[in-house]
Structure 1
Amino acid sequence: MKILVTGTAGFIGHFTALRLLAMGHSVVGLDNINDYYDVNLKYGRLAEAGFAREQVQPGQLVQSVKHANYQFIQASLEDRETLNGLFTEHKFDAVCNLAAQAGVRYSLENPHAYIDANVFGFMNILEACRHNGVKNLSFASSSSVYGLNETMPFSTSHNVDHPVSLYAATKKSNELMAHTYAHLYGIQCTGLRFFTVYGPWGRPDMAPFIFTKAAFNGDTIKVFNHGNMQRDFTYIDDIVEGVVRVIENPCHANPNWSGKTPSPDSSSAPYKIYNIGNNNTVKLMDFIQAVEAATGVEINKEFLPIQPGDVVATYADVSDLERDMDYKPNTSVQEGMRRTVAWYRNFYNI
């Protein structure tokens, strides 16, 4: 297939593109390379994929020197004209939308960035799919949509009407928008709720990266809710495996779905929501110990109250992913952090 993957200078998008290429697909990558976090990391991922920094220019489609079937363009989802031109030219068989304005706490400081990228941008993706005959769309949602839900593990059959951050609200809106286009235009829309993704080339605003950096720099980490937090930490390879299986197996309408007892995770339209998590919630203090074991350093800690927008725990029920895709993530945090720290040492010459 020829596949558009958005967010390919980002963490999950980078690895998804490389995996699709290894499977024999052709990929066009798109990313606006914004400065939400260190752009050197984004350009580093692109260089790893065969795109030199000086080669990448806004609005110009460039060819990877490492992969014959990989092209990249620097552009924003909000740039409707560029996006439409890309769809018209390339006649994509599938689209995987992983681009977004990420981060829960940053959404408290810069809310408009989330509406621009995550709502207006996703609208442009849906419209481009509609007008160019693309019927296979997968997109990133987030475990943050579960919000105030305290029923564990989180199931896609649960109600998600109580988000506690604007970021989560934009991800829930993506799911609703996708369902509308599945219903109206028959686009096969699959949403993927990711659970705390980490690994080599990971995001520097996420705890695994922050903790690793602190260990090597001798910094003090902030441990929120006094350490009484739990997360379903999911290793990048496990996430990507789930993503590519969904791309290659687009969803269909659920023949058993009923409007009288409507389950929120499927529909009479070709629409499906999956969790992709490790199905194993880990106490924050245990995760910190895994980082300390991998780095060989005891990290200085400052214990603080919970932050606005944070949820106390996440834990993914992945039974439908296992049933439909014959797949379940299984990398332990100890093994995942060992690989992550090895990459960090190499990238930062430690």
Structure 2
Amino acid sequence: MGLSGNLGDANFGMIAFGIGVGSAFGSFLVGLFLDRFGAKKVILATAIAYPLSIIPLGYTTDVYFALAFGVILGSLRGATDTAFNTHGVQVERFYQRSIMTSFHAAYSLGGFLLGMVGSMFASQFTDSAAVPFTVLGGLMLVIGLIVGFLMLEKHEVVEESKATVAADVSILGQGSNSTKIILLMLGFGFLLLGSMFGESSITDWGQEYGLRVIGVTAADAGVAVSVFTGAQFIGRVFGDRLAVLIGPSRLVFLSALIAIAGLVLPTVSHTHAAVLIGFAMFGLGLASIAPLMLSSAGRKDPANSGRNIGIVNCIGYSGMLLAPAIIAYVVSTVGIEKLMYFPILLLIPLAIFGPALMKQTQAPGNASNASDLQQKLS
């Protein structure tokens, strides 16, 4: 688009802000359609619309056109994310165990692989984004349509009465308009802001922290950020097994403690090894928190899981909007050496209250009726 200078930075920030606003709005709005029409129909619709919304951004030269399509793209991105997470919660009822962290591990891996592909395109097409955006948008459209037809129809989802053998029964009640349940979803969303801010502090400022505070080279600082991403992927690969072994609420508590310790380490020890170990611990700690809390939120009221996950995602995407600006303000006000204190303070409430929100009474059942359920599902 030829953006440059202070005005170019402002315009680029405005476009990025529009994408974030759209994501928060789309996350919330799509929940109503998910509960009414089922995840498959919504996923098929977004699998067509979302990739198509990406392609025009590769051709635009006008800021306001880009802003308008950025809001549309963000809305469809948030809707797609919420739809897939809602479907993931529904699939968990068939597995009768946690699968959400493994599901999110694929998300992390996909982001890494697509980032490498995008970098390759950027090195080949330096003057225009038309080819990369068109190719990747078209590829996403084909993949989305294929995957969309494999999703569960609304009538194929396990009914709430059958799912109670494997799923938890909320102690708050199951009313579709329950104020308590909505307040609970708001609680999940605001607690997840802590992890969102923490992730932004590493991905946006981790390299600068290594350069300016620790005094390592740009390459070593970049490696530290990559270690964080890799540790997050590894943590999600094994997160479901740990959730089965010790329970989701305990895993969230331990994960929050590990994440906090990972941020404290480079704060008290300004060495390259401390940054590498600390960022790795932080990645492992964050890995399972969001998937497990989204899974718990979706199970609290199965009839309205789309709405509930939409509320949590909406607040989460709001964190993506606020984090860069607030962290930049913290850095400019108190100095980058105090960067880690802010996410540490936000993660402490998550460690205290997150497990409490997830605690649920177990539905009555035993191995035999669980086996009966599996035969019915088959």
Tell me the TM-score normalized by structure 2. 0.30
If each structure's helix is expressed as a fraction of its own residues, which one has the higher value?
2
Over alpha carbons, which structure has the higher Rg? 2
